[in-house]
Amino acid sequence: MKRPQHTIEVDIPTQTLTLKDAQGKQLMHTRISTARNGAGEERESEKTPRGEHYIRAKIGAGLPSHAVLISRRPTGEVYSPELRAAFPNRDWILTRILWLCGREPGKNRLGNVDTMRRYIYIHGCPDEDPMGVPGSRGCVKMRNHEIIELFDRVAIGTRVIVKG
């Protein structure tokens, strides 16, 4: 398998995501939102896992911006503030999903710290959700137009480094 040509760096302290090419040149840099509970790897902690990961799956190709996904499947809904009011407790996962898998056994892979089994994604979110401040339930949230851009630029297997 050809090694992916990009690296995604998620910086929890600065709440930013950077996409770099194989030579380290910055291709994209944006504000994001990681876990409101901070950094951490344990299952059910609702924290963002640190360390080296890779994109295990890309979900949502071709969906409209703001498409609602539940359990990695489109619901047929398109997000709106009215829909949010109707479902106030829903964890809004919109537009695209980049599903992460840990590379470090005992740290973010296998057992009680498995990133993939924790369903940790990079995904779109409602426009009114603030960026640049922690606010997710463990995932990395992005603006919808930015997750579409990132999704279209990266391949399955792309390296993702989460610094915390």
Which residues are CB-contacts of 111 (< 8 A; sequence separation ≥ 6)? Answer: none
What pLDDT is attached to residue 4? 64
**HSE (side-chain half, CA atoms, 13 Å) at 20:** 12
- Pick out the chain residues at pLDDT < 70: 1-4
Q: Where do runs of H (alpha helix) occur along the chain?
A: 81-86, 144-153
What pLDDT is attached to residue 2? 60
Going by C-alpha positions, the residue among 30, 35, 36, 32 that lies closest to residue 50 is: 35
List, in sequence order, every residue forming a beta bridge with 130; answer none if it has no partner: none
Cβ count within 10 A of residue 74: 16
- Report whether 65 contacts 148 (CB < 8 A): yes
- Please state which of the four CATH numbers 2.40.440.10, 3.40.250.10, 3.40.50.2300, 3.40.630.30 is assigned to the domain occupying 6-163: 2.40.440.10
* Domain range summary for the chain, segments of one domain joined by +: 6-163
Q: Is the dihedral of CA 94, 158, 100, 156 positive or negative?
A: positive
What pLDDT is attached to residue 37? 98
Cβ count within 10 A of residue 149: 17
Question: What's the predicted TM-score (pTM) here?
Answer: 0.95
Cβ count within 10 A of residue 162: 25
